[in-house]
A and B are shown apart, each in its own frame.
Chain A
């Protein structure tokens, strides 16, 4: 790091590293957040200090943050500093930054923390993936989030290049007043949170060519990035083939590639490297548990779940779904009724997790065959891989329970 630190900042970084080392060796934590908290307490502007003289890409949005961050890191190539999965608030950021000297940085940032992080860090590029309802018991209203992003990006001084999803009205509104925007035409199926205009609340018109409001807010026409069979970014074309499934991940890769072009990496360099991403923190990968093979899929909110349901194989395989409602999940599972579980008709769904009865009730009303699993020992033996869809803490439980194949 070329940055000279003050004595206090040095102390903060030292304390941060010690706490994380203790946390790791005592097995009490993954050793990322605890030290970060200590460092920030000693030197609150540590995030600003540790990103000085580094080229930073920031990734935020409701869904796809972790995967897009991984795609940016892989696509950039070489030594890239990035935060650990789930540690996407400033404590996690400073922990990652203090632990590495690379000048190339990709930070995944929690939506609600984005304005604070933009204040502290002067990123070169900001990726805004999408905004939709998620953990409403904590974040309350998604439109407010869009408004907070907008005022943060419009404030003078901060002039990152914003890579924004042109098909998500809440993202377009957020990026509207930013100095430099690269609009991306990427697959965006979830529009339930964008039926009324983010600017004036009047009804939005949706058509195959895009969306618009009578106030003038509409799908931006001057898109930099499009994904029609092949990927095009600012006139450069590339065939996009990834090792991870899902149309939504092609969109994530397109936005990652657009961001990387802003730091001088061509598609011809970034796209082949992205193929090395085969799973992200266990997601998409096949794991084993008690003689069974399972593909673990994470979805934290209705938009994410809807996208995942489209990747479940049409054959009548068993599907396991695990739902919790801990603080990290959002304590209110009402969102189950925003997910089109009807898509699972023809499958037998095994209901797991603390809120398995909420899930079973939802499936019952959707006309989907279900089994309530009160005891994991009652799960059937299977010969073919099981698809296991889980929300946040349920996913973590199954990651801990299962092993890599």
Chain B
């Protein structure tokens, strides 16, 4: 049984981020893998899970989510081997510090050597990122400027949009995928959903061939139009 837990969708679910959990569960089931999808609310105890998902949120809720995660055993779960998919505010929370209410610095979980400051302008718009041989397409909407520590690998290189700093997007560690592509990024990028799923399950996955593939092809075509290379 693959256990997927979406953490605090009421705090970190501003942009339909809960969709990512649904996508992982459905894509597992369609390959005959039993999967459970749990939405963990603020008052719930943190359940054991193979993969946790963190979404985007506004300043106040982001601060609250960070506090909850610092005291509910989440860090131990991740150190013990759970995987994490984090977008937007979730990406910032896993780092050392982030900014709320203007430029107030707030303590993150420190799972990754990453610092997020307030960007000069808000980053709102289409996002396209080269991740290895693949392209990640999506939409970003955040006010952060994220700086990766020495030795922290980005998830990919930005072709369109701003993401961390206009150069790179998110970060990738053994157990964490983090991106500024918010909302249902896994719905729009079936290859990315399968890369995560394949890693968590420890197996190679064949493509499914669903509407998501048509969507990905269309968005990829639109977002790469006019881009060199």
Contact = CB atoms under 8 A, between A and B. Distances in A.
Interface of A: 133, 136-137, 140-144, 192, 195-196, 201-203, 302, 331-332, 334-338, 357-358, 360-366, 370, 372
Given A360-B214, A361-B212, A336 B16 contact: yes
B212 A364 contact: yes
Given A201-B61, A334-B15, A334-B19, 20 more contacts: A140-B141, A141-B14, A141-B58, A195-B10, A201-B63, A331-B125, A332-B183, A334-B17, A334-B184, A335-B15, A336-B16, A336-B19, A337-B187, A338-B13, A360-B211, A360-B214, A361-B188, A361-B212, A361-B215, A365-B212
A372 B61 contact: no
A108 to B, nearest CB: 26
B16 A338 contact: yes
A361 B19 CA distance: 11
Interface in B49-89: 58-61, 63-64
Contacts of B26: 365
Contacts of A363: 211
A363 B187 CA distance: 11
Nearest to A302: B16
Interface of B: 10-11, 13-19, 22-23, 26, 42-43, 58-61, 63-64, 122, 124-126, 139, 141, 182-184, 187-188, 210-212, 214-215, 218
- What does DSSP make chain A's interface, helix, strand, loop or mixed? helix
A370 B215 CA distance: 14
Contacts of A372: 211, 214
Contacts, number: 105
A201 B60 contact: yes
Given A337-B184, A365-B187, A196 B60 contact: yes
Given A196-B10, A202-B64, A335-B15, A140 B122 contact: yes
Contacts of B122: 140
A265 to B, nearest CB: 39
A192 B214 contact: no
Contacts of A338: 13, 16, 18
A388 B63 CA distance: 41
Q: Is the interface of B mostly helix, strand, loop or mixed?
A: mixed
A195 B10 CA distance: 6
Q: Which of B13, B22, B43, B215 gathers most chain A CB within 10 Å?
A: B215
Contact of B14 (A133, A144, A357): A133
A338 B39 CA distance: 13
A337 B64 contact: no
Nearest to B63: A201
With most chain B CB atoms within 10 A of its CB, the pick from A137, A203, A334, A338 is A334
A195 B214 CA distance: 35
A52 to B, nearest CB: 38
Nearest to B18: A337
Contacts of B214: 357, 360-361, 372
A361 B187 contact: yes
A358 B215 contact: yes
B210 A361 contact: yes
Contact of B22 (A142, A196, A302, A337): A337
A226 B201 CA distance: 53
